[in-house]
Amino acid sequence: MIASAARDAVAHPVSSADRPHGAGWDAQLFLGFERVGARSVMTRREHRGPLVVQKPLYPEGPDVCQCVLLHPPGGIAGGDRLTLGVTVSPHASAQLTTPGATRWYRSAGPPASQVLHARIGEHAFLEWLPQGTIVYDGALARSDVRIELARGATFIGVEFASLGRRASGERFRCGEWRQRFEIVRDDAPIWSERAVLRADSGVLASPVGLNDASVFGTFVAVGAPIDDTMMSALRAIAPLQGEAAITRLPEVIVGRYRGDSMESAGAYFVELWSMLRPAMTGRAAMRPRIWST
C-alpha cells in the first residue's frame, strides 16, 4: 500500500502556466501521514506551484515525521494564493515547520492569502511550528488556519507576526492583515479567533489591542489535560522583551505575546512548547535543526 501511494503521488513542476499573466502564484500542497508499524510515514505528497517539501526527516526517531515547508519565491506577493492541506491518520505523528519567517510583500492592488486545513485522526498528533510572519507595510494579507481533530487527537501550533519591519525603520502605515484560527473537535468548535488589523485602525494603538506593539502571536495546544502545577510553571515563563500571558480553557491551552521583538516572541513560544509537548505527548521537545540555521 505504501509503495502504491508513493507511485500515485502527483508532483507538478513549477511553470509559467501556474502563474497567469498579471496574477499571483496559485500554489497548493497536500500532505498525508499514516502509521506503519512503529513509523509515521508520508504517504501523500501532491503539489502544484511553488509550495513544496523535501524528503521526510526523522531527527527524533521513526515516531514523528518532520517536514520543512518551502516556498521558493521567498515571499508572498499581492495576488498569491497558498493552500496547504494536511491529513494525519490515526496514531500517526507529524511536525511541520519552515526554514525562516514568511514574508508578505507590499501589494499593488490584489490581496494575498494563505490557508492551512488540517485533519487529525484518532490519537494522532500534529505540530504546526512556522517561524513567524513579517507583514510589510502596504501588504493586503489573509491567513486562515482550520484544524479538525478526532477523538484523542493532539495539536500544538503557533502563529506570530510582525506588522512592518521596525528593525529597518518601517512601520505598518497602510495595508491590512486578516487572520482566522479555528479548532474543531468532532465537528464542535473548541477555539475560534478572528482578527482584522488595518493600518489606520485604532486597535493597533489601543491598550486593549496591540498597544502600539508591532509583534503579536498566539500559541495553542490541545491534548492531554494540564494540571495546576504545570500551569504555574507555564505562567512563570516570561519573554525577554514584551509581555505575555497563558490561559487554560476547558480543552485548549492558549499563550499570547505582545511586544516589538520577533526573537522574543519566538523564544517565548518555544519555551511553552518545550514544557507542553512532553506533558501532552510523552515526547521530549527536540528543537528542529532548521531553527538554528
Q: Is residue 94 part of a domain?
A: yes
Q: Is residue 205 part of a domain?
A: yes
What's the domain range around 126?
2-11+24-211
Task: Give the global pTM.
Answer: 0.90
Q: Is residue 19 part of a domain?
A: no
Task: Please count the structural domains in the chain.
Answer: 1
Q: Is residue 178 part of a domain?
A: yes
Q: Is residue 101 part of a domain?
A: yes
Per-residue pLDDT of the chain (293 residues; tens, 9 = 90+): 222 233 233 333 334 344 443 568 899 999 999 999 999 999 999 999 999 998 899 999 999 999 999 998 889 999 999 999 999 999 999 999 999 999 999 998 899 999 999 999 999 999 999 999 999 999 999 999 999 999 999 999 999 999 998 777 888 999 999 999 999 998 899 999 999 999 998 999 999 999 999 999 999 999 999 999 999 999 999 999 999 999 999 999 999 999 999 999 999 999 999 999 999 999 999 999 899 87
Q: Is residue 163 part of a domain?
A: yes
DSSP string, the chain: -HHHHHHH--BPPP-GGGS-TTS--EEEEEEEEEEETTEEEEEEEEEESS-EE-S-B-TT-TT-EEEEEE-TTSSB-TT-EEEEEEEE-TT-EEEEE-SS-EEEPPPSSS-EEEEEEEEE-TT-EEEEE---EEE-TT-EEEEEEEEEE-TT-EEEEEEEEEES-GGGT----S-EEEEEEEEEETTEEEEEEEEEEETT-GGGTSTTTTTT-SEEEEEEEESS---HHHHHHHHT---SSSEEEEEE-SS-EEEEEEES-HHHHHHHHHHHHHHHHHHHHS------GGGG-
